Structure 1
Amino acid sequence: MLVALVLMLLALSNEGRVNGERGDRQCEFNPSLSPRPHSVSILEFGAVGDGKTLNTIAFQNAIFYLKSFSDKGGAQLYVPPGTWLTESFNLTSHLTLFLEKGAVIIGSQDPSQWDVVEPLPSYGRGLEVPGGRYQSLINGYMLHDVVITGNNGTIDGMGFTWWESFRSHSLNYSRPHLVELVASNDVVVSNLTFLNAPAYSIHPVYCSNVRIHNISIFAPPESPYTVGIVPDSSDHVCIEECTIATGYDAIALKSGWDEYGIAYGRPTENVHIRRVHLQASYGSSLAFGSDMSGGISNVVVEHVILDNSKGGIEFRTVRGRGGYMKEIIISDVEMKNINTAIVATAYCGSHPDDKFDPNALPTLDHFIFQDIIGTNITIAGSFAGLQESPFTNICLSNITLSVNYASSTTWNCSNVSGVSDSVIPKPCPDLDSPSKYSSSCFSMLSMKGKTAVSGMVSMK
């Protein structure tokens, strides 16, 4: 039953807290979602799936009706095969939105038909344009127990108009996303395809207990700053079995922007990412920041394939951002056709206004990279910390990166310190100080329940 599922999710959350908030546990619980006791079809509310008829009112009315079942075990809104044009609509608690195979929800391309909402408090303004932002296609606010799933149905943002407005600097407000859930908990997004997002495809922000499973996301390489999945100031997040190819970043972890993110103070933490295939044409397959003022910590990434991307794994921040990124383990990675395999930089990102504190220095500490293989890599790694706040406890082990002929420098390092073992090509001396850092690497691996590599053990 659904109630039992929710109780189990809550129990899992409490177990994580009791045992030290281990990020690698988030994907260990694989819920089997029970059918809702009540179900209606969007057809019952006058929707027409011809790709031309606007169905916003049908979606709104259907969800308003299903809200009455929230205390009766919840309900399902069934979307049958067809092409269903709509503007933004809001979900409700204890709801399953189910897209059948052949069902395609498409977003209206007329910005005048999209509502404008307030900026998120951890950002203080729209990311692209000062002021408000266009409401996303599918939304939820302060919801509990929400499932967006299907039999490989599709949600298509039809982002071409939005991309052109971004390029031409003609946006009145910041672009919408495909799915945005705000301050919600016990969220599942699964078994769907997301296409052509105006900006982000899936954006859980201020959420807890989020599971994103078996999702395909695609936006063409030329789509500007399109991003796949963005956990933002959210905790207890699992992302697994996903295939993502976007114009900018495939997965990006964030937690707010400068003084707004620092004041809001909600980190992204306890995140588990595994068995994903990521491609990012002009960004990074896996990105952290640069919006990270609330902090990012306790992240485990394992068994991933990264290919055909500008960056493989990238940590971004900038002076004035504040916040931290710490206790992150990335292992069992296969890379192919990547310009820079591993990047950590404190020189990336702009500021929302002139009210930021230039003395708010970001902290990067306790990162482990192990068991990574790369082919056709141009630059193995680039680490650039701040002199006043260097990157510390960077641990590299069992990494082999085949660097291509275009490379003149394999590693670039400044204001960074750490340890390395069995790394090819040999990293810069700043990352080769075993006596000082090896015990710290080993302790972190043990704390996270990972198996320490033999090289780290021998250097302890």
Structure 2
Amino acid sequence: MPVSLPRWVVAATLLLSFPAVAQPIPPVLPRVEQPVFRRDTIDIRRLGAVADGQTMNTSAITQAIEQCNRNGGGTVLIPRGLWLTGPLVLKSHVNLHLADGALLQFTSDRSAYPLVRTTWEGRDAIRCQAPLSATDAEAIAITGAGVIDGAGDAWRMVKKSKLTTDQWKKRVASGGVVNVKGDTWYPSEQSLRGATNAESGKANISLNPADYADTRDFLRPNLLSLTRCRRVLLTGVTFQNSPAWCLHPLLCEQVTLRGLTVRNPWYAQNGDGLDLESCRNSLIDDCTFDVGDDGICLKSGRDEEGRKRGVPTENVLVSNCRVYHAHGGFVIGSEMSGGVRNVLLKNCTFMGTDVGLRFKTARGRGGIVENIYVDDVDITDIAGEAILFDMYYMAKDPVPQQGESNELPEIAAQPLSDATPRFRQFTVRNITCRGAETAILIRGLPEMAVSDIRIEDAVLQSHKGLVCVEAERISLNRVSLLCDAKPVMQFQNSRHITLDSIRYPATTDLLTQINGNRSADIRLLNTDSSKAKQEISLGTTVAAGVYSHE
């Protein structure tokens, strides 16, 4: 191996060399470039900043950042204390360092955040300016042991179903307005008006900020928005209470997140922890997420706009991370129209997330998600699926609310086009789950199956076992499906399935159920089926010879 090659190039080459049904992953890590800063330090107190929690320090901190940038770079120091500020823009070669005990508190005055052109959920949009942002910056960092608070409670709507009775009463009594249905609280009339427009399809019809003057409160910003930046370092800091997504690098290269804590209330609408979008060469290591939506999420634009941009998220290493409450522990999509590829997730723990590994997309997205490798993940107390591949994502919470159904819908085939998404070439190894509704759900589309998935050396305790719909070339090796529902494994219109060395409870009534006239070549190998009262059940439309046990 030539030593002159960067390690991330070697890693990407090895990843791309794997066959469709991938083999175990060699321990090759991508090398991500990190910024280096001059020793010069500017203390914001030198420019008049006051840590009394009342003084607005926007001007003083902005002056410090701009002066540091003009001087060729260095560190802007936020000392211990409570520093109130409006939105800040980071500049090249500047390290914003928060000392231990520093709290950078963004103002809850929504009028302090002007309307700007940016993106929202993978599309060009007008939103309020992010509390922290940078565009086309080179070598930037946010470091230290302090806390950055985005004042998200001043922006977010809250669903009644996500609060206790007392919490809901207090929220309503605090001000704001409740919608006509009485099921959602909004912080202002503008926020409610914007939500009403969005529900009717009238939102985001223009990229002229003046068109949103009467709904600006609805246009919640992400806490940290980085666009087309290179060599980004975020380390040690706590990011919390974001108006929408917490961390959003977009079209960035060489991104390092290490030792971060990212927190949002569990009821936080769109309260994602990290959304890495159309970024190249990234490292997320030793971070903790406890948020209201997806925890660690990879994206690449939405629908036609994302396909036109055509920039995948690629060469990503996620390691040694912990995710507590979140809709998904590790997530790809659903905005993945530019593609996601060459991803390694290893040594992570997900506790109490709605879904463990969550890969989601939908018709209209297009894009290809491929060469995804997962190794050594432990999962506990999952309300939905431990492992989910879903090409029929419907933009709903992954766990149904009281009275809602989560049954799989009947899906009719549609013509193939550039808007047809693809999931292929996934390897998932060494997974342990204690407690989930469903161990594995694989759901493709009739016109485009989920394909080339290998799951091996897994112990999954759940209510339901494996549900596989519209999939092909799926391999389970040495997988324990410790479930109490029947059947343990069910297939619908799936083909070229290999089930090798499967373990299941001794009290199982039905081991395998197959439905659909397009199911074919489903093989059970090296598995003792005698413990099940019934080994196989075939639907009336299933062709003869579909199933074999060797």
- The question of whether the paired residues in 2 share the 8 Å contact of 1:122 and 1:260 is answered with no
- The question of whether the paired residues in 2 share the 8 Å contact of 1:328 and 1:368 is answered with yes
> In the aligned structure 2, how far is the partner of 1:24 from the partner of 1:210?
23
Distance 1:266 1:349, change over 3 A: farther
Distance 1:32 1:223, change over 3 A: closer
Is the aligned partner of 1:421 residue 2:485?
no
Distance 1:249 1:26, change over 3 A: farther
The equivalent of 1:447 in structure 2 is none
> AA paired with 2:475?
V
The equivalent of 1:396 in structure 2 is 455
Q: Secondary structure at the match of 2:382?
A: strand
Q: Secondary structure at the match of 2:130?
A: coil
1:325 alignment partner, one of 344, 369, 383? 369
> AA paired with 1:208?
E
Is the aligned partner of 1:266 residue 2:307?
no
> AA paired with 1:120?
T
The equivalent of 2:498 in structure 1 is 434
CA offsets 1:398-449 (integer angstroms, 9 cap, x no match): 111112xxx2x3222211121111112164455873399xxxxxxxxxxxxx
Q: Which moved more, 1:180-189 or 1:57-66?
A: 57-66
Distance 1:85 1:198, change over 3 A: same
The equivalent of 1:155 in structure 2 is 148
**1:10-409 residue pairs with structure 2 within 5 A?**
11=6, 29=31, 36-70=38-72, 74-120=73-119, 123-126=122-125, 132-150=126-144, 152-164=145-157, 167-168=185-186, 169-170=191-192, 171=194, 172=216, 173-281=218-326, 283-339=327-383, 340-349=385-394, 359=417, 360-403=419-462, 407=463, 409=464
- The question of whether the paired residues in 2 share the 8 Å contact of 1:88 and 1:115 is answered with no
> AA paired with 1:69?
N
- The question of whether the paired residues in 1 share the 8 Å contact of 2:34 and 2:232 is answered with no
> In the aligned structure 2, how far is the partner of 1:133 from the partner of 1:14?
37
- Residue 212 of structure 1, CA deviation: 0.2
- The question of whether the paired residues in 1 share the 8 Å contact of 2:30 and 2:281 is answered with no
TM-score by length of 2: 0.70
TM-score by length of 1: 0.83
Distance 1:19 1:434, change over 3 A: closer
- The question of whether the paired residues in 2 share the 8 Å contact of 1:36 and 1:75 is answered with yes
> In the aligned structure 2, how far is the partner of 1:26 from the partner of 1:87?
42
The equivalent of 2:543 in structure 1 is none
> In the aligned structure 2, how far is the partner of 1:137 from the partner of 1:27?
33
Is the aligned partner of 1:412 residue 2:457?
no
Q: Secondary structure at the match of 1:260?
A: helix
> AA paired with 2:154?
T
- The question of whether the paired residues in 1 share the 8 Å contact of 2:34 and 2:254 is answered with no
> AA paired with 2:339?
G
Distance 1:320 1:422, change over 3 A: same
- The question of whether the paired residues in 2 share the 8 Å contact of 1:371 and 1:398 is answered with yes
> AA paired with 2:147?
T
Q: Secondary structure at the match of 2:119?
A: coil
CA offsets 1:309-349 (integer angstroms, 9 cap, x no match): 11111111111110011110111010100121011111114
- Residue 280 of structure 1, CA deviation: 3.1
More helix by share: 1
Distance 1:185 1:167, change over 3 A: farther
- The question of whether the paired residues in 2 share the 8 Å contact of 1:24 and 1:300 is answered with no
> AA paired with 2:294?
D
- Residue 179 of structure 1, CA deviation: 1.4
The equivalent of 1:445 in structure 2 is none
CA offsets 1:87-107 (integer angstroms, 9 cap, x no match): 111111111110000101111
| Identical positions, percent | 27
- The question of whether the paired residues in 2 share the 8 Å contact of 1:26 and 1:236 is answered with no
- Residue 390 of structure 1, CA deviation: 0.6
- The question of whether the paired residues in 1 share the 8 Å contact of 2:425 and 2:451 is answered with yes
- Residue 28 of structure 1, CA deviation: 5.5
- Residue 119 of structure 1, CA deviation: 3.0
Unaligned runs of 5+ in 1: 1-9, 127-131, 351-356, 437-454, 456-460
> In the aligned structure 2, how far is the partner of 1:156 from the partner of 1:308?
24
> In the aligned structure 2, how far is the partner of 1:238 from the partner of 1:26?
13
Q: Secondary structure at the match of 2:447?
A: coil
- Residue 182 of structure 1, CA deviation: 0.5
Distance 1:33 1:182, change over 3 A: closer
Distance 1:28 1:42, change over 3 A: same
Distance 1:81 1:25, change over 3 A: farther
CA offsets 1:169-220 (integer angstroms, 9 cap, x no match): 5352531122111101111100111111111221111000000000011112
> In the aligned structure 1, how far is the partner of 2:245 from the partner of 2:102?
21
Pairs aligned (count): 410
- Residue 13 of structure 1, CA deviation: 5.4
Which has more radius of gyration?
2
Distance 1:85 1:318, change over 3 A: same
Distance 1:298 1:32, change over 3 A: closer
> In the aligned structure 2, how far is the partner of 1:342 from the partner of 1:17?
25
> AA paired with 1:402?
Q
> AA paired with 1:55?
N
Distance 1:14 1:312, change over 3 A: closer
Distance 1:277 1:124, change over 3 A: closer
> In the aligned structure 2, how far is the partner of 1:260 from the partner of 1:235?
19
> In the aligned structure 2, how far is the partner of 1:185 from the partner of 1:26?
23
- Residue 32 of structure 1, CA deviation: 8.5
Distance 1:144 1:12, change over 3 A: farther
Unaligned runs of 5+ in 2: 18-24, 158-175, 177-183, 195-215, 396-414, 482-487, 501-525, 527-550
- Residue 259 of structure 1, CA deviation: 0.6
